[in-house]
Chains A and B, each alone.
Chain A
Amino acid sequence: MARHLLLLSSAALLLGPLVWMVSLSLKPPGEIFRASFSLLPEQWYAAENYMRALTVAPLPRFLSNGVIVCLTILLCQILICAPIAYALAKLQFRGRDAIFALVLVGLLLPHQVLALPLFVLCWKLGILDSYAALVLPFIVSPFGIFLFRQFFKSTSDDLMHAARLDGYSELGIVFQIMLPLARPAVIAFSILSITSHWNDLFWPLIAIRTEELMPPALGVITFRNEEAGSDYGPLMAGAAIILAPLLIAFLAAQRWFVEGLMLGSTK
């Protein structure tokens, strides 16, 4: 009973702001700053708020930027992390443990620490203010390497041997044997990667000026400053719209997500 109460209250704590955001997005301006508190609006204003959010700012554009950037990042991450993880899990070579230690260090470093060097790097490459600047810093994910390595390590060596005898190349083994087997880990990783880059504000703020290139979170912020002023209804509606795709994706993949994260702990 006590455990349930604890879970319920922490869930309420996490979901509270979300519910409030949705509630605000349904209210007319007059009701938003009223002293009395109610979740449902007296006068429904949802259509107006959402219409404004979708028309005043280029919200669809932000959303499609988000999709392009997040999917490109994810694809690159998987293409790069899986072979590295395979080498660290299954191949014998000098310096392997040292490299894995570096991956663990990478896991500990917050991305913000690297922002300045990355900014300089992107500037030297001449890719500031482009999709490339949004993608490049994230294509090698220490967490992805770590997660895949743990998964690959748990598969039997015989499977890899059989694949070699059957004629697979090493990359063939990674992408046609190991990755399909690691599906729960791939899905868990995909969700974490997509949510973190969909919601990322810090790096786009540094790397992007042009409004057409802005990912959702950054877009909504500028939208507040320039267009909406203190018009919170449409702002909340915009926030709700950019959150929706994530919620849907998470709910759809929830089972695998939990499975993937449990993996290391049960074996």
Chain B
Amino acid sequence: MASISLDGIGKSFGRTRVLKRISLDIRDGEFLTLVGPSGCGKSTLLRIIAGLELQDEGSVRIGDRAVDGLPPKARDVAMVFQSYALYPHMTVERNMAVPLVMRRLGALQRMPLVGRLAPGTERMRASIAADVRKVALALGIEPLLARKPGQLSGGQRQRVAVGRAMVRQPAVFLMDEPLSNLDAKLRVSMRAEIKELHAKLGVTFVYVTHDQAEAMTLSDRVDLMIDGELVQIAPPQVLYNDPDHVNVAAFVGSPSINLVQATALSEWLASAVRWAGDAGNLDGVTIGFRPERLSICNEGTAGSIAGRIRLVEHLGADRYVHIDIARTERPLIVRTHPHDGPDLAPGATIALQAEPKDMLVFDAAGRRLRKRPCDATEILIARSSA
């Protein structure tokens, strides 16, 4: 078990700066998820932790030692790759045994024929086989041990890859989008298994994903990266309710947050966001509403904005209502309970309400503006009655 500490990690490939002085502390036993758009440097960061890529600046500590000069095999980390990277010419059993064979047997003992004669080899091989079998049993892949990776389904390969990482009991697990090649259903069940695995092993996990459901359900903390920089690191709930950046707000939540240019809402909310821009300059300011934080009311209600229903989606427990309001390109999505509120039919004219405290305001660069108006509700009401 080990904590990981990154201090000012920078990396460039040729001219492009892929990582810009990233500093990050991961606690012992924590499940940290890295999310972010494609190409933002997540895999590169993972490879730097593993020692597969060398950083240009900064240092990596695992546990209580700096590992910058150590080769990958000496860092006590295991990695599960997106492509699984199983050795195609070896059986599942040999694939899983490799990390142990390379660690426990000497060079002489590993030789094909001579090795058998070296003292202790037989016993070592037997104990390795026993360890492999134990892990295979735990993952339910024991019947597959004699097969080659080419004869396995995607989900089975994924388990083998996890098994190969598990057998040698590393202090740190690095996983690079391990579930992205699986179908949706399998992904959900494997997600639960990975969570159990983390609980059982209690070691540090660093997990890369594009899937926000994975990020939200698995993690102790989620770390959003954009263009080689950390934007926010926080527990999933905080990320959802209190994002620091518009991209964080947009990444978490499904359906995703409604983002509206403040200028489009100026008549409704101008005063509420006046404190946002300098002297009421709303250019570029974005306001976000979570779909469940908007409510539908009758037209003409005080402090509301008029809209027209474009589409109603019934999802059993929930109902998503798409509403067009003036001067916005995309409709706002409102999440309601099927029997709440007035009768909703496409084409109907209704109005929307929101609590000022539920509005997330972002400046032109996407940064969150947290300063609260002195009393936003009052302003809203004052505006609407004016």
Contact = CB atoms under 8 A, between A and B. Distances in A.
Contacts of B357: none
Interface of A: 156, 158-159, 161-168, 177, 180-181
A161 B83 contact: no
B330 to A, nearest CB: 38
B89 A180 contact: yes
A151 to B, nearest CB: 13
A162 B163 CA distance: 13
B82 A158 contact: yes
B236 to A, nearest CB: 28
Contacts of B102: 166-168
B89 A158 contact: no
Contact of B98 (A158, A161, A166): A166
Interface of B: 47, 50, 52, 71-73, 77-79, 81-89, 98-99, 102-103, 164
Given A161-B47, A161-B50, A167 B73 contact: yes
Contacts of B81: 158, 161-162
A165 B89 contact: no
What are the 7 A-B residue pairs with the smallest beta carbon separation, nearest first? Answer: A167-B102, A158-B85, A162-B85, A167-B73, A158-B81, A180-B89, A166-B99
28 contacts: A156-B83, A156-B85, A158-B83, A159-B87, A161-B47, A161-B72, A161-B79, A161-B85, A162-B79, A162-B81, A162-B85, A162-B86, A162-B87, A164-B73, A165-B50, A165-B72, A165-B73, A165-B77, A165-B78, A165-B79, A165-B99, A166-B73, A166-B102, A167-B98, A167-B99, A167-B102, A167-B103, A181-B89
Given A168-B102, A177-B87, 13 more contacts: A156-B83, A159-B85, A161-B52, A161-B81, A164-B72, A164-B73, A165-B50, A165-B77, A166-B73, A166-B98, A167-B99, A167-B102, A180-B89
A157 B281 CA distance: 50
Contacts of B88: 181
A181 B86 CA distance: 12
Contacts of B72: 161, 164-165
Instruction: Point out which of A159, A161, A163, A177 has the most chain B C-beta atoms below 10 A from its C-beta.
Output: A161
A167 B98 CA distance: 8
A161 B88 CA distance: 15
Nearest to A167: B102
Nearest to B84: A158
Contacts of B82: 158
Contacts of A163: 87
A27 B323 CA distance: 97
Contacts of A159: 85, 87
B52 A164 contact: yes
A189 B89 CA distance: 20
A120 B238 CA distance: 78
A171 to B, nearest CB: 11
Contacts of A166: 73, 98-99, 102, 164
A70 B99 CA distance: 37
Instruction: Point out which of A158, A165, A167, A168 has the most chain B C-beta atoms below 10 A from its C-beta.
Output: A165
Nearest to A162: B85
Nearest to B80: A162
Nearest to B174: A165
Instruction: Point out which of A158, A166, A168, A177 has the most chain B C-beta atoms below 10 A from its C-beta.
Output: A166
Contacts of A167: 73, 98-99, 102-103
A169 to B, nearest CB: 9
A163 B60 CA distance: 21
